Amino acid sequence: MQSTPAAWADADVYLADTLVGHDPALEAALGAQQAAGLPHIEVAPVAGKLLNLIARMSGARRVLEIGTLGGYSTIWLARAVGEGGSVITVEAESRNAAIARASIDAAGVGERVDIRVGRAADVLPTLVGGFDLVFIDADKESNTIYLDWAARLGHAGTVVVLDNIGREGEIVRDDSTDPMVVGTRDALRMLGDDPRFDATALQTVGIKGWDGVALALVV
């Protein structure tokens, strides 16, 4: 096989078909998101399930998500925390939040999910800490602010997942002026240097092209 974006996508679809399967609530959430014209940049199905498994493996009961979009990853996380658990998800766009609210409710996990509308840099200082898992998937320019709040609102043992750390390999460009690349590089440097975190990152290929995810533990 040639390592091409089309082959990565085919293999990703195969893995999702084999390991994730048909999921009406999640597919409905994606349909609603698409019908509303939101960008198709939610996590891939295999990545959504990875989030769900990481949350369950770590026993997370209180989850913070930064960047709700249409609620696709929120549903994966809300399922993971179980009936007594909770997810606070922060979304800057009220229209996105309304679409997410409907999809999350339709998925049957609405009572576990609190959507806070506003810019995360404004909302995060208003939250009470104690989160067991923080998923950061919002504007990449603000990633270091979000990591700082993840540490402040977490505790020793909190799991932090940061999306989109590969950026088609642009992360190696120390002269990049792309704010998303600069924000991602700054976040990776912080994860490497800040003593509050112990971190690694994995590149991914699949239906979203060449990207990746960082995983950190608050120590």
Name the residues that contact Mg ion, by CB under 5 A: 137, 163-164
CA distance 43 to 120: 19
x/- track of binding to ligand DHB for residues 12-51 (CB under 6 A): -----------------------------x----------
**Cross-sheet strand order for the sheet of 62-66:** 113-117, 86-91, 62-66, 133-136, 159-163, 209-218, 197-206
What residue is closest to ligand DHB based on CB?
41
Q: List residues bridging with 62 in a β-sheet.
A: 86
Q: Which is nearer to ligand DHB, 68 or 103 (CB)?
A: 68
Work out how close the CB of 59 gets to ligand DHB at its nearest, in angstroms, rounded to a whole number.
Answer: 26
DSSP 8-state secondary structure symbol assigned to residue 83? T
Per CB under 6 A, the list member of 134, 137, 143, 171 interacting with ligand DHB is 137
Site string for ligand DHB, 180-199 (x = CB under 6 A): --------------------
Token pair of 78 as six digits = 């809300």
CB of 142 to ligand DHB, least distance (A): 12
| Neighbouring C-beta atoms of residue 168, cutoff 10 Å | 11
Residue 165's nearest CA partner among 136, 195, 207 is 136
For binding to ligand DHB (CB under 6 A), which residues are involved?
41, 137, 163-164
